[in-house]
Amino acid sequence: MTQPVDADARRAVRPVICYPNDTLPRPDMALYGAARAGARKVSEVIVPAREAACFRADAGQFFRISSVEGPQVGDLNLWNARDLSERFYSGKSRALHGTHLSVGERMWSSFPYLRPMATITGDSLGWYGIDEFGGSVHDVIGTRCDPYTGNLLAGTQYHHCCHSNLTRALADETGLSLAEAERHVHDVLNVFMCTGFTRDTGQYFMKASPVRPGDYLEFFAEIDLLGALSACPGGDCSSEHSSDSAACFPMLIEVFAPDPAALSGWQSPPVNGYDQSHGR
Ligand SMILES: [Zn+2]
């Protein structure tokens, strides 16, 4: 294939950020920190290895996902507790914040709501940064491991992918059928997963998560939330997923309630202000 004479000049054009985020509403991290300091634990859920579990966090509460027993990656879904059609929008969160999320960044909800569902308030892996391979933790670039892709690529029938784990957990929590629940499962925040894109081929890669027991990712619930977390069958995702061959461990979810007075002045964010007339 021949190149145009100005090929190098075209490649040398500097990129511009698609969505400059300096006009995003800023979370009041000092307020959240003060509220968290006086919060008390109100519930906890253990997610068994290769399974998922649901949890609820009211607006104004905090929830913490922790590694226990061994390195393990978790696939997180969030819904508005009163309306499952409002759910985490991985792609837009990536467009607004980048490929991996950490403290001060948000999990945004789907259209037509597009508001913060949760704000990350604590990350014991915040030291990791971006490694020499371009990898980092807590990505919003992967989807969730699922039995359909395994069937497509290898003809398998595997039932403990995160997609199926989340489907069963949501069905059990809500009373929906598996078929109804499955339609609400969506692309995830990959908690503790270490991922990136190869520089030479642009392929999605994973590597052993740096997470160790005691590490955590903590969130402030901006709206009333129903969440589901799957302890991925990939374990620390160092080699493979979508099978029972990796070492897997449970995960812990804890919910903390602050003193309501500590959140004075804070309001749960309204839904997006676009008028939805779409030009008609
Ligand atoms: Zn998975």
Residue 271 forms part of a structural domain: no
Say how many Å lie between the CA of residue 1 and the centre of ligand 1: 40
Token pair recorded at residue 105: 């960044």
**Residue range(s) defining the domain that contains residue 254:** 25-259
3-state SS, one letter per residue, for 47-67: ECCCCEEEEEECCCCEEEEEE
What confidence score (pLDDT) does residue 142 get?
86
Say how many Å lie between the CA of residue 223 and the centre of ligand 1: 26
Residue 19 forms part of a structural domain: no
Query: pLDDT 10s per residue in the chain (280 long)?
Result: 899 999 999 999 998 888 888 888 899 999 999 999 999 999 999 999 999 999 999 999 999 999 999 999 999 999 999 999 999 999 999 999 999 999 999 999 999 999 999 999 999 999 999 999 999 999 999 899 999 999 999 999 999 999 999 999 999 999 999 999 999 999 999 999 999 999 889 998 999 999 999 999 999 999 999 999 999 999 988 887 667 788 999 999 999 999 989 999 999 999 999 999 999 9
The C-alpha atoms of residue 121 and residue 217 are separated, in whole angstroms, by: 8
- The single-letter DSSP state of residue 109 is B
What confidence score (pLDDT) does residue 175 get?
98
What confidence score (pLDDT) does residue 229 get?
98
Say how many Å lie between the CA of residue 146 and the centre of ligand 1: 7
The C-alpha atoms of residue 80 and residue 86 are separated, in whole angstroms, by: 6
Residue 117 forms part of a structural domain: yes
Q: Which residues of 229-254 are buried (b: 16+ CB within 10 A; e: fewer)?
A: bbbbbbbbbeeebbbeebebbbbbbb
What confidence score (pLDDT) does residue 19 get?
82
Say how many Å lie between the CA of residue 218 and the centre of ligand 1: 20
What confidence score (pLDDT) does residue 237 get?
85
| Residues, Cβ < 5 Å to ion ligand 1 | 75, 145, 162, 232
What confidence score (pLDDT) does residue 236 get?
86
What confidence score (pLDDT) does residue 21 get?
81
What confidence score (pLDDT) does residue 22 get?
84
Say how many Å lie between the CA of residue 199 and the centre of ligand 1: 24
Helical (H) or strand (E) element with 7: helix 7-11
Residue 226 forms part of a structural domain: yes
Overall domain count for the chain: 1
Burial (CB < 10 A; 0-12, 13-18, 19+), residue 53, is: buried
Residue 171 forms part of a structural domain: yes
Say how many Å lie between the CA of residue 241 and the centre of ligand 1: 7
What confidence score (pLDDT) does residue 242 get?
67
Residue 82 forms part of a structural domain: yes
Residue 268 forms part of a structural domain: no
What confidence score (pLDDT) does residue 1 get?
85
**φ and ψ at 212, to 5 degrees?**
-135, 160
What confidence score (pLDDT) does residue 18 get?
85
Residue 85 forms part of a structural domain: yes
